[in-house]
C-alpha cells in the first residue's frame, strides 16, 4: 500500500514532468487555443492552478476536523469550476500563469504534508484529492499537450 510520502512524491514527479513540458512551449503557442477552440495551454495551466487552490482549502478544513468542502460548495460540477478557472486566465501571460501554478502547487503540497499519515490510503479523501486534482490531472493534461501537434496536423 502506498504511503503518504509515496503519493506526494508521485504528485511532485507528475508536476515536474508537466512543468518541464510547459516550460518548453513558446509564449505565443502558450496562448493559442487548440482544445475545442476554447482552451490552450494557458487555460490548462489556469485550470490546474485553480483546482490546486480550491482543494488546498479541503486540506485546511480536514486539518481543522471539518468536512473537506465548505457548506454549499459542490466541487462535483467540474465544468462550472473549469470555466471559472479558465476565465481567470484571460489576459495573463505564460510567466504569470506559471508563477500562479507554482504558488498553488506549493501550498497544496505543504497543506497535504501537514495532514496525518492515516488520512492517506486506498479510498481515503486526502489520497483521492492528491490523485484527482494533482498526480493524475498533471499526467492527463501532459498527454493532451504532447498530442497537440497531432491534433493540429489532423485539423
CB 49 within 8 A of CB 81: no
Segment 61-100, tens digit of pLDDT: 999 999 999 999 989 889 999 999 999 999 999 999 999 9
Number of other residues whose CB lies within 10 A of the CB of residue 151: 11
Residue 155 has pLDDT above 80, yes or no: no
Separation of alpha carbons 83 and 102, rounded Å: 20
Q: What is the CA radius of gyration of the chain?
A: 16
Is 70 exceeded by the pLDDT of residue 21?
A: yes
Give the H/E segment covering residue 25: none
Only one residue has cell 489532423, namely 154
Residues 98-129: tens digit of each pLDDT = 999 999 999 999 999 999 999 999 999 999 99
Q: Which domain, by its residues, includes 116?
A: 4-154
**Residue of 1, 18, 6 whose CA lies nearest to 52:** 18
Angstrom distance (rounded) from CA 81 to CA 74: 9
CATH code at position 94:
1.20.120.450
**Count of structural domains, the chain:** 1
pLDDT of residue 153: 42
Amino acid at each position: 500500500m502506498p504511503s503518504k510520502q509515496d503519493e506526494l512524491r508521485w504528485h511532485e514527479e507528475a508536476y515536474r514532468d508537466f512543468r518541464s513540458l510547459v516550460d518548453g512551449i513558446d509564449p505565443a503557442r502558450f496562448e493559442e487555443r487548440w482544445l475545442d477552440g476554447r482552451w490552450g495551454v494557458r487555460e490548462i495551466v489556469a485550470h490546474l492552478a485553480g483546482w490546486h487552490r480550491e482543494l488546498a482549502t479541503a486540506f485546511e478544513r480536514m486539518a481543522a476536523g471539518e468536512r473537506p468542502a465548505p457548506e454549499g460548495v459542490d466541487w462535483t460540477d467540474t465544468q462550472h469550476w473549469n470555466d471559472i478557472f479558465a476565465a481567470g486566465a484571460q489576459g495573463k501571460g505564460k510567466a504569470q500563469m506559471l508563477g500562479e501554478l507554482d504558488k498553488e502547487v506549493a501550498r497544496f503540497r505543504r497543506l497535504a504534508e501537514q495532514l496525518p499519515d492515516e488520512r492517506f490510503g486506498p479510498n481515503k479523501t486526502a489520497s483521492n484529492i492528491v490523485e484527482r486534482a494533482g498526480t493524475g490531472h498533471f499526467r492527463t493534461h501532459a498527454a493532451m499537450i504532447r498530442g497537440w501537434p497531432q491534433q493540429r496536423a489532423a485539423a
